[in-house]
């Protein structure tokens, strides 16, 4: 799809931004280019739409050398999203989104209709259409930036640190939206970030660059975490890559045990007989109500009379990852993660120790890993 | 205070006397002459100032030359230039127009250049990135974004030209300067102050026209105080 063949970029002052890069990006997935600043990731991205011309080597898009295409024409066929959105302040939101269709010569009416569609697609209310960029928050502007890039429905989307200028909460929101959008649109996306967490969260494939414009490793996130090619990559993916790996294990694969689950109608005497420090109290539908500390049970009556400690949060066996399960274990007053099914009924519990065994089991099984990743609905 | 009121009365009497409103020496005819000199000069100055300002602002080449030329031109005394060109080229409207054009170019050139150069590089990068040609970047992004400054340059130039076009009367041409020059030579104080008042009013009208123009052509998105949602 996008192919770099022995591409280098150096500047007259002697700095080399990209050094002999050969890379092939598959169609229909998100490839993340990640690395420290000055590693050439943005230059690499910008060579795809000819915003930067390589010093040597060729870049081809769908088998065609991109230098054969007039640069503006090439760019109209490639979506481009940048860090601070770069919206046109003198145009309304709707006209910003309609930019590329208008450049392509669509009628104003058709371009605006398309823009209205995209506004909705990126989750902005209709009344934003008539506003101007400086009336929007950073996160909203970034959504408009994505909508503008999608204007003419390009097969390829280039995104240069699109979410790094917004606060962490908005960033997480935008990332989630982005994943949802990609599920719907199946674009070929090249995404630049300096944030390895973002790379792992979003990427189907990750290219790690090192300073000096060298490609250090190109792999799936699972492989990158399990088998970093060298010390640089290992250092870059960080010390907590063991925990990150849990993101790729589905919660459904976590071994659960029954645990001290009792209904609220259980008499206190019977509850005491369970001889557990914490009792998980559930209702008739096995939906969890809270934890009852055994030491503070009332003298008589049923568990409904006991004072309950809130659950923290449970994890769902459908949809959540083992990482959410671990989080749930660590935050639970009983140090037990509570797994629930689609209806919210308790299936079982697991502690942090048991969960870490899952991570350990995953290490060193790249083949099994890859399979799981394929089916993983991130 | 009394003195001021006297002057106002003088101007009032002059403006309302019917002889000022008829014939070759009347206000309407002189105003038309004045507006012709000003309009033609401004047109030429705008063509030159905008063309170079946009070109240099967009390409970034020749910025130093623009600043130097503009500063130099600003230092040239208009009246001196008129006398010089009349001496060289003889008595006609041309020397006056040349002087007025020279006067009007610097504010237009400088402000246009600054306006285009001041466009956020991120916005320019985005414009190219979505597939605009250089011409489209200029016309669709840089010009509309620099409009507030471009209009400011045009307004300064227009007011200067309208005020300075009075010098056309020195080499014997028409315009509102006639009243002032003739009044001075005839020691007719009422004529001088009446003519001056008309020039001042005209400058005010120019100011109002440009303010209105700004409201119409500058995008609301560029107003600084736009409220956040």
Q: Where are the domains of chain A?
A: 2-248, 251-370
Please check whether residue B217 touches A, CB under 8 A.
no
- pTM, rounded to two decimals: 0.76
Please check whether residue B214 touches A, CB under 8 A.
no
A134 vs B contacts (CB less than 8 Å): 221, 226, 228
- How far is residue A302's CA from residue A76's CA, in Å, rounded to a whole number? 69
Q: Is the pLDDT of residue A297 over 70?
A: yes
- How far is residue B125's CA from residue A148's CA, in Å, rounded to a whole number? 14
Share of chain B above pLDDT 90, in %: 48
Q: Tell me the DSSP string of A22-35.
A: EEEEPTTSEEEEE-
Segment among A74-83, A220-229, A306-315 with least mean pLDDT: A306-315
pLDDT at A373: 39
- The minimal CB distance from B222 to the residues A89, A131, A148 is found for A89
- Determine whether the interchain pair A72/B221 forms a contact, defined as Cβ–Cβ distance below 8 Å: no
Mean pLDDT of B101-128: 93
**Displacement of CA A90 from its chain's centroid (Å):** 33
Number of cross-chain residue pairs from A and B with Cβ atoms under 8 Å apart: 85
Q: Tokens representing B12? A: 């009032």
Residue B155, CA atoms < 13 Å, CB-side half-sphere = 17
pLDDT at B206: 94
Please check whether residue A48 touches B, CB under 8 A.
no
- Determine whether the interchain pair B126/A82 forms a contact, defined as Cβ–Cβ distance below 8 Å: yes
Q: Tokens representing B81? A: 């230039």
Who wins on pLDDT, A249 or B134?
A: B134
Three-class SS state of B171 = coil
- Determine whether the interchain pair B122/A82 forms a contact, defined as Cβ–Cβ distance below 8 Å: yes
Q: Is the pLDDT of residue A303 over 80?
A: yes
pLDDT at B121: 92
Count H helices and E strands in chain A, helices first: 15, 16
- How far is residue B182's CA from residue B186's CA, in Å, rounded to a whole number? 6
**Å between A140 CA and nearest CA of chain B:** 11
B207 band by pLDDT with thresholds 50, 70 and 90:
very high
- Determine whether the interchain pair B136/A103 forms a contact, defined as Cβ–Cβ distance below 8 Å: yes
Among A154-158, A295-299, B99-103, B184-188, top mean pLDDT goes to A154-158
Q: Is the pLDDT of residue A368 over 70?
A: no
**Å between A259 CA and nearest CA of chain B:** 50
**What's the complex ipTM?**
0.83
- Superfamily, domain A2-248: P-loop containing nucleotide triphosphate hydrolases (3.40.50.300)
Strand partners, A65: A60
Share of chain A above pLDDT 90, in %: 49
- Tell me the pLDDT tens digit for each residue of A125-179: 999 999 999 999 999 999 999 999 999 999 999 999 999 888 888 899 999 999 9
pLDDT at A128: 94
Cβ(B91)–Cβ(B172) below 8 Å: yes
pLDDT at A364: 46
Cβ(B78)–Cβ(B153) below 8 Å: no
**Nearest 10 degrees: Cα torsion B170, B174, B178, B182:** 70
Who wins on pLDDT, B124 or B79?
A: B124
pLDDT at B212: 94
- How far is residue B195's CA from residue B27's CA, in Å, rounded to a whole number? 9
Output phi, psi for A290, to 5 deg: 160, 175
CB atoms within 10 A of CB A366: 15
Cβ(A321)–Cβ(A375) below 8 Å: no
- How far is residue A102's CA from residue A79's CA, in Å, rounded to a whole number? 15
- Tell me the pLDDT tens digit for each residue of A324-367: 888 888 888 888 888 988 888 888 888 888 887 776 665 544 43
B122 vs A contacts (CB less than 8 Å): 82-84, 86
3-state helix/strand/coil string of B62-90:
CHHHHHHHHHHHHHCCHHHHHHHHHHHHC
Question: How many Å from the N-terminal Cα to the C-terminal Cα in chain A?
Answer: 23
Cβ(A314)–Cβ(A295) below 8 Å: no
* Test mutation, B121, B131, B138, B224, chain A, max A CBs within 10 A: B131
CB atoms within 10 A of CB A223: 18
Among A11-20, A236-245, B3-12, B140-149, top mean pLDDT goes to B140-149
Cβ(A114)–Cβ(A94) below 8 Å: no
Distances (CA, A) of A179 to A194, A201, A378: 18, 9, 8
Phi-psi region of A94 (alpha: psi -120 to 50; beta: other; left: phi over 0): alpha
Rg (alpha carbons) of chain A, rounded to whole number? 26
Who wins on pLDDT, B91 or A293?
A: A293
- How far is residue A118's CA from residue A213's CA, in Å, rounded to a whole number? 36
Q: Is the pLDDT of residue A29 over 60?
A: yes
Query: What are the helix (H) ranges across A122-220?
Result: 138-149, 168-185, 196-202
Who wins on pLDDT, A373 or A151?
A: A151
- How far is residue B131's CA from residue A70's CA, in Å, rounded to a whole number? 10
Q: Tokens representing B28? A: 């309407």
Mean pLDDT, chain B, whole residue set:
87
Strand partners, A33: A192, A207
Task: Go through the domains of chain B in sequence order and give each one's CATH number.
Answer: 2-228 (1.10.3720.10)
Q: Is the pLDDT of residue B110 over 60?
A: yes
B141 band by pLDDT with thresholds 50, 70 and 90:
very high
- Determine whether the interchain pair A88/B127 forms a contact, defined as Cβ–Cβ distance below 8 Å: yes
Beta carbons within 8 Å of A199's beta carbon, 6+ residues apart: A32, A34, A191, A193, A206, A221
**Displacement of CA A3 from its chain's centroid (Å):** 24
DSSP class of residue B139 equals I
Segment among A250-254, A274-278, B89-93, B161-165 with least mean pLDDT: B89-93
Please check whether residue A111 touches B, CB under 8 A.
no
Q: Is the pLDDT of residue A205 over 60?
A: yes
Please check whether residue A50 touches B, CB under 8 A.
no
A235 band by pLDDT with thresholds 50, 70 and 90:
confident
Mean pLDDT, chain A, whole residue set:
87
- How far is residue B30's CA from residue B27's CA, in Å, rounded to a whole number? 5
Nearest to A330 by CA among A315, A342, A340: A315
- Give residue for tokens 């066996």: A317
Mean pLDDT of A6-23: 92
pLDDT at A79: 96
Q: State which fold the A251-370 domain adopts.
A: CBS-domain (3.10.580)
- Determine whether the interchain pair B123/A89 forms a contact, defined as Cβ–Cβ distance below 8 Å: yes
Q: From A102, which residue of chain B is nearest by alpha-carbon distance?
A: B132
Question: How many Å from the N-terminal Cα to the C-terminal Cα in chain B?
Answer: 51
Residue A93, CA atoms < 13 Å, CB-side half-sphere = 28
Cβ(B153)–Cβ(B106) below 8 Å: no
- How far is residue B17's CA from residue B45's CA, in Å, rounded to a whole number? 37
Strand partners, A337: A350
Helix, strand, coil percent content, chain A, rounded in steps of 5: 40, 25, 35
Among A233-242, A283-292, B86-95, top mean pLDDT goes to A283-292
Q: Tokens representing A65? A: 């050398």
Please check whether residue B32 touches A, CB under 8 A.
no
- Tell me the pLDDT tens digit for each residue of B64-77: 888 888 788 777 77
CB atoms within 10 A of CB A274: 12
Q: Tokens representing A304? A: 């409904």
Mean pLDDT of B204-226: 86
pLDDT at A7: 95
B108 band by pLDDT with thresholds 50, 70 and 90:
very high
- Tell me the pLDDT tens digit for each residue of A105-128: 999 999 999 999 999 999 999 999
pLDDT at B35: 93
Three-class SS state of A281 = strand
Task: Catalogue the E-assigned strands of chain A.
Answer: 2-10, 16-25, 30-34, 56-61, 64-65, 78-81, 156-160, 188-193, 205-210, 214-219, 261-263, 278-282, 288-293, 315-316, 336-340, 346-351
pLDDT at A360: 66
pLDDT at A14: 85
Q: At what angle do helices A138-149 and A168-185 cross, to 10 degrees?
A: 20
Output phi, psi for A277, to 5 deg: -70, -35
pLDDT at A334: 84
Q: Is the pLDDT of residue B227 over 50?
A: no
- The minimal CB distance from B131 to the residues A103, A131, A137 is found for A103
Q: State the DSSP H helix or E strand holding residue A327, giving kind and residue range, or none if neither.
A: helix A322-331
- The minimal CB distance from A135 to the residues B129, B131, B227 is found for B227
């Amino acid at each position: 799809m996008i192919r770099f063949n022995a591409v280098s970029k150096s500047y007259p002052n002697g700095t080399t931004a990209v050094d002999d890069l050969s890379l092939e990006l598959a169609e229909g997935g998100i490839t993340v280019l990640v690395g420290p600043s000055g590693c050439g990731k943005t230059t690499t991205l910008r060579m795809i739409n000819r915003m930067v011309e390589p010093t040597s080597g060729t870049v081809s898009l769908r088998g065609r050398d991109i230098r054969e295409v007039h640069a503006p024409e090439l760019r109209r066929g490639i979506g481009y999203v940048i860090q601070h959105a770069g919206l046109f302040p003198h145009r309304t939101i709707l006209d910003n989104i309609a930019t590329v269709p208008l450049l392509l010569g669509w009628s104003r009416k058709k371009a605006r209709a398309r823009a209205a569609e995209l506004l909705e697609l990126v989750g902005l209310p209709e009344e934003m259409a008539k506003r101007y960029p400086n009336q929007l928050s950073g996160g909203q502007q970034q959504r408009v930036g994505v909508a503008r890039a999608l204007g003419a429905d390009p097969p390829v989307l280039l995104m240069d640190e699109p979410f790094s200028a917004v606060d962490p909460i908005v960033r997480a929101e935008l990332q989630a939206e982005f994943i949802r959008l990609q599920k719907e649109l199946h674009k070929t996306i090249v995404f630049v970030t300096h944030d390895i967490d973002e790379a792992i969260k979003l990427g189907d494939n990750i290219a790690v660059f090192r300073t000096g414009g060298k490609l250090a490793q190109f792999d799936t996130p699972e492989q990158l975490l399990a088998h970093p090619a060298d010390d640089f990559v290992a250092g870059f993916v960080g010390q907590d890559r063991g925990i990150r790996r849990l993101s790729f294990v589905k919660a459904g694969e976590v071994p659960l045990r029954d645990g001290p689950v009792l209904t609220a109608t259980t008499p206190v005497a019977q509850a005491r007989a369970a001889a557990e420090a914490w009792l998980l109290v559930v209702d008739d539908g096995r939906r969890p109500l809270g934890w009852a500390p055994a030491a503070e049970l009332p003298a008589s009556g049923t568990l409904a009379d006991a004072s309950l400690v809130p659950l923290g949060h449970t994890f769902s066996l459908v949809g959540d990852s083992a990482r959410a399960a671990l989080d749930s274990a660590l935050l639970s007053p009983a140090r037990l993660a509570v797994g629930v099914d689609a209806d919210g009924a308790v299936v079982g519990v697991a502690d942090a120790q048991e969960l870490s065994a899952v991570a350990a089991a995953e290490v060193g099984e790249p083949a099994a890993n890859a399979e799981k990743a394929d089916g993983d609905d991130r | 205070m009394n003195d001021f009121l006297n002057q106002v009365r003088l101007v009032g009497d002059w403006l309302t006397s019917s002889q000022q409103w008829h014939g070759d020496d009347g206000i309407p005819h002189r105003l038309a002459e004045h507006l012709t000199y000003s309009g033609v000069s401004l047109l030429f100055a705008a063509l030159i100032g905008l063309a170079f300002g946009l070109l240099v602002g967009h390409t970034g080449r020749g910025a130093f030359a623009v600043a130097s030329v503009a500063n130099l031109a600003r230092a040239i005394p208009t009246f001196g230039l008129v006398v010089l060109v009349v001496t060289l080229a003889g008595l006609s409207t041309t020397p006056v127009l040349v002087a007025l054009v020279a006067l009007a170019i610097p504010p237009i050139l400088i402000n246009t250049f600054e306006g285009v150069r001041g466009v956020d590089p991120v916005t320019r990068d985005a414009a190219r990135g979505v597939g605009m040609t250089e011409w489209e970047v200029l016309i669709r992004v840089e010009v509309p974004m620099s409009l507030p400054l471009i209009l400011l340059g045009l307004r300064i130039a227009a007011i200067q030209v309208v005020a300075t076009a009075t010098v056309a009367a020195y080499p014997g041409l028409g315009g509102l300067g006639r009243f002032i020059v003739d009044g001075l030579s005839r020691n007719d104080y009422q004529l001088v102050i009446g003519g001056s008042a008309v020039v001042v009013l005209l400058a005010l009208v120019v100011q109002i026209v440009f303010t209105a123009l700004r409201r119409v052509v500058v995008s609301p998105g560029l107003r600084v105080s736009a409220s956040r949602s």
